[in-house]
Chains A and B, each alone.
Chain A
Amino acid sequence: MKRTVPLAITFIVGTVLVLADFIPHKPFGNLGDDFSLYFDIIAVFAFLLGGGNLIRVHLTKINRKRPDWQFSIVTLVGFVVMLAAGIFKISNPEGIQGDVAAIGSLFNDLYMYIFTPLQASMFALLAFFVGSASYRAFRAKNIEATILLIAAFIILLGRTPFGLWLTEGLTGDLAFLQIPNLANWVMDVPNLAGQRAIMIGIALGVISMSLRVILGVERTYLGQDSD
Chain B
Amino acid sequence: MANNEVQNQSLIEKLQLIDRRIIFVFIACAVVIPLLVGATMEEETTPIVQAFFDYVENLPEDSRVLLSFDYGPTTAPEIQPMADAIVRHCAERKCKLYMMAVWATGHNLTGETIVNVLNPEFPDYKYGEEYVNLGYKAGNQGLIRLLLVDFKRMYSTDAAGTAIDSIPMMENINNLKNFDLIVSFGGGFPGIKEWVLYAGDPGNVPVGGGCTAVSAPLLYPYYPNQLIGLLGGAKGAAEYENALITAYPQYENKRMAGMSLMVSQTVSHMVIIFFIIFGNVLYFLHRSKQKANGIEGGQS
Contact = CB atoms under 8 A, between A and B. Distances in A.
Tell me, yes or no, whether A binds B: yes
Interface of A: 21, 29, 33, 36-37, 39-41, 43-44, 47, 94, 97-99, 101-103, 108, 111-112, 115-117, 119-120, 122-123, 127-128, 130-132, 134-136, 138-140, 149, 152-153, 156-157, 159-162, 180, 184, 187-188, 191-192, 195-196, 199
Nearest to B139: A40
B194 interface: no
Given A41-B138, A99-B159, A138-B276, 8 more contacts: A33-B153, A37-B153, A40-B137, A140-B280, A152-B276, A161-B43, A162-B269, A184-B46
26 contacts: A36-B145, A37-B153, A40-B138, A40-B142, A43-B139, A102-B160, A103-B115, A119-B73, A122-B74, A123-B74, A127-B31, A128-B27, A131-B24, A132-B23, A135-B23, A135-B276, A136-B16, A140-B280, A152-B276, A159-B269, A160-B265, A160-B266, A162-B270, A180-B44, A187-B217, A192-B221
B276 A134 contact: yes
A134 B140 CA distance: 35
Nearest to A132: B20
Contacts of B150: 33
A112 B235 CA distance: 25
Task: Return the 6 tightest CB-CB contacts between A and B, nearest first.
Answer: A40-B139, A39-B142, A135-B275, A160-B266, A116-B73, A196-B221
Contacts of B11: none
B228 to A, nearest CB: 15
B272 A184 contact: no
B161 to A, nearest CB: 5
A44 B18 CA distance: 48
Contacts of B146: 33, 36-37, 40
Contacts of A130: 272
B272 A33 contact: no
B162 to A, nearest CB: 10
B154 interface: yes
B220 A156 contact: no
Contacts of B154: 37, 40
Contacts of B28: 128
B111 interface: yes
A152 B26 CA distance: 20
B222 to A, nearest CB: 9
Interface residues of B, number: 63
Nearest to A35: B142
A192 B218 CA distance: 8
- The main secondary structure of chain A at its interface with chain B is helix
B160 A128 contact: no
B35 interface: no
B179 to A, nearest CB: 19
A94 B24 CA distance: 45
B167 interface: no
Nearest to B107: A101
Given A43-B140, A101-B111, A140-B280, A162 B266 contact: yes
B27 A127 contact: yes
B216 to A, nearest CB: 8
B139 A39 contact: yes
Nearest to A111: B108
Query: In the complex, which of the residues A119, A132, A139 has the most CB atoms of chain B within 10 Å of its own CB atom?
Result: A132
Given A37-B146, A160-B266, A119 B279 contact: no
B24 A191 contact: no
A198 B206 CA distance: 24
Interface in B275-299: 275-276, 278-280, 283
Interface string B26-51: 11100100000000010110111000
A201 to B, nearest CB: 12
Interface in B254-281: 262, 265-266, 268-273, 275-276, 278-280
A195 B235 contact: no
Given A127-B27, A131-B272, A134-B279, A195 B142 contact: no
Query: In the complex, which of the residues B28, B74, B143, B271 has the most CB atoms of chain A within 10 Å of its own CB atom?
Result: B74
Contacts of B115: 103
B135 interface: yes
A191 B23 contact: no
Nearest to B110: A101
B149 interface: yes
A136 to B, nearest CB: 7
A138 B160 contact: no
Contacts of B48: 187-188
B267 to A, nearest CB: 9
B72 interface: yes
B265 A131 contact: no
Contacts of A116: 73, 76
A71 B135 CA distance: 34
A22 B145 CA distance: 14
Contacts of B135: 99
